[in-house]
Structure 1
């Protein structure tokens, strides 16, 4: 029999490479689901790990397999320290996304490192992980997976927008949850601001100082991905093959690249949001702290942009992967075919016991 209260840890590593997001959460099921984020922090990646994770698509199969072993140990060590620091006990599970190394669902491939059974052995806890593989095997995109959490935990908002490495969106349409990647976001902005020695553009100040290059903007907006119908998702491979070469061909200053790409993000998001009176858009992810980007999105969409308290902005994905693990533990649907295009809804992920 399923219980109605869960004490779990959620772990997420995204394409922005700022670190491992680790969140200690509780979930209670009564009339609906309620949650609390009790402790949460980002475990920064050392510079050598940033370099490795940034170049995963260039690794050979044998190199990736070794990196998987190493990353699983790194993840286990980080989570262990988090547990010790916060003196956590009586955990029901640790629910971890891993880090995406390869994502080409059109050929049936998705691979997240850090999801090996040894993670449960290292932690001496039950681990729920590897949430994407089953969906791809069922013909789905394996992404996005967060929308089941949007539906069950954040239903009062018309749209849930996440601005991480990629911008993705989630909403209800004719009784179905629809979600997909809209466009690249921080994965591009952070890449170019790195040329100036920064990890990110604080508040979007550098972008705001630049000028839009209309021709580059036009070519970005004309990319074929934006004309394709959902379900659809993006990966690092696509950014490296389509976005970076296009931007680099214009030989612009960094501030003009940032300004142009912020405009591109705002336009692509506005194309997806059907604004009505008081349309509410819950906005999370690192991009929510980019004041200039949020100004442009607000201006383009004409919607009410809701920016929640910091723990939800920063750790919503870790929270929801914790929730995905709870749903898997209960053998309940945690992956929606309306979102991913899989053959049917299913309860995705693997459970490893210590």
Structure 2
């Protein structure tokens, strides 16, 4: 089948990250995908195989089998918009341009139209999943879109999880020699006895508070791997302040900065680290599949609804955990999201009998759910 996936990049990488993973998974299963995006700049590092080449009035991004990246403006140009494919996905309610919608409505057999929604663990997701929304006016009049909600329960759309992902992650997680080699390829000179944490965060994360706590814990040698962007900036600012007031960093705390990573490269980093601090939707889901302890910084919203979303996910993810571990992990998550005070003590990591084991247990419970792409294909073909 031919899929048209529409993506508008708002202010971070989660939207294009989710859409690119979706496109990759569909193409790996034999489908063809046109990805329509208004700002493809993140693909230069997220998908370095894609190369923009001239093609008439609009360039096309090629280089990944089964996927062609198109500029959003082409779909808004009535003279240049192509015939829609079999399925149209608007990611996160981004509203495809009117000329494309008009071409959809003009087809003898209109494409299936899906609004792929944001991820949440809240109860409304199951109630809203697969609901139909007829269009009564405008260029798409007469068409019907359906809401498709990712989620964490069998009555939702599931999560992006390409075939074989967890086996690949586990193989890396359990192979200390290979982990060392992968970290080395990323420029992280891991030392024996040193625990490793990755940080991918927004600019509001209290990274300095955590780094100061690590600096004061000489019994726990730690290597913190900072990703490009906010994590690097916050880490550099904290280090400069520390060195100006305290002198050189203590030898038990080391900081590294990794270059912008492709999606497979970032997945490898998550599998190699003992703890992953992640943000938004895409990296949070990948942290779940890595099976490592993680801390999630949710996207902060002005009306405060992100607090309820965080609570809902925490309750589902830690449902079977010991009460004391639940409380300590929740306290850290609340503090990391500026929703509570910094806890006096953080959960131990790595700890094969505690947080690490509980994270694997929750991951394995979640992997029994049918993945999002399998459910999408079944839905649009009428086989599920």
What TM-score do the two structures reach when normalised by structure 1?
0.33
- Looking at CA atoms only, which structure, 1 or 2, has the larger radius of gyration? 2
Of the two structures, which has the highest relative contact order with CA contacts closer than 8 Å and spacing of 6 or more? 1
Structure with higher helix content: 1
What TM-score do the two structures reach when normalised by structure 2?
0.31
Structure with higher strand content: 1
